[in-house]
Amino acid sequence: MESLFGKSKHSSDGGEHWMSVSDLMAGLMMVFLFISVALMRDAMNERDKIKEVAIAYEDTQEAIYLALVSEFSADLDKWGAEIDRSTLSLNFTAPDVLFANGKANLTDEFKLILRDFFPRYLEVLEAYKPSLQEIKIEGHTSSRWHHNSTDYEAYFKNMSLSQARTRAVLSFAMKLDEVRIEHYAWVKANVAAVGYSSSKTVRNKLGNEDENRSRRVSFRVITNAEDQIRKILGSQ
């Protein structure tokens, strides 16, 4: 303590007094400096760990995108599908191929597509499973229902429809022989069917809704980068 705060002062008659205010303040400043340096070091370490996760996330996103393109690029046109690089979504955007208007039953053509697509899709993602949080099968509709429906009625009618459609897609996919034999448990634990109604419609360059492109089914990959960052923050 003497090396940090200095020796205590003595009065002229030999009695001990508390150290001077200046010595006390100097000692406290040194303590605060040591604490600040330690906190800064921890913050920098935390920042570096998060940066590593972010870089790994970007690399994984790009790798998955390229793997999907490599596997499915020759099939996209005939399926009426496209791959969105930013969301890692493979979107089936030909509504007449997917379902009858206002119905949740898969067309025979869409069943053929799913038989070809889904087992291959799981094989592509096999190498990235440690980095995956979940796969979402997303159902989207246009904002239209019947011409005399209110916006509220149309939204919730389309909500029920989009949810029923994604459940039908997942149910059909899980019954495929390749999936049932090799991937059933993983799909059950990691693939979700979600209906978004018209909450994520597609807009053209003028900002108007593209009703055909809005009616789509998407298979979206979600990585676990956010979970890794939460673990880093929680360990500090």
Kindly list the structural domains of the chain, giving each domain's residue range(s) and its CATH number in brackets, ordered by start.
75-232 (3.30.1330.60)
Q: Residue 90 pLDDT more than 60?
A: yes
Query: What average pLDDT score do residues 53-61 get?
Result: 74
pTM of the model: 0.75
Position 103 scores a pLDDT of: 92
State the pLDDT confidence band at 15, using cuts at 50, 70 and 90.
very low
Distance between start and end Cα atoms, the chain: 30
Percent of the chain topping pLDDT 90: 61
| Rounded Cα gap, residues 116 and 14, in angstroms | 96
The secondary structure of residue 20, as a DSSP letter, is: P
Residue given tokens 């090396």 in the structure block:
3
Higher pLDDT, 142 or 231: 142
Alpha carbons 36 and 29: distance in angstroms, whole number:
10
pLDDT in tens, 159-176: 999 999 999 999 999 999
Strands (E), 94-215: 132-140, 191-195
Least confident of 61-65, 100-104, 150-154, 231-235: 231-235
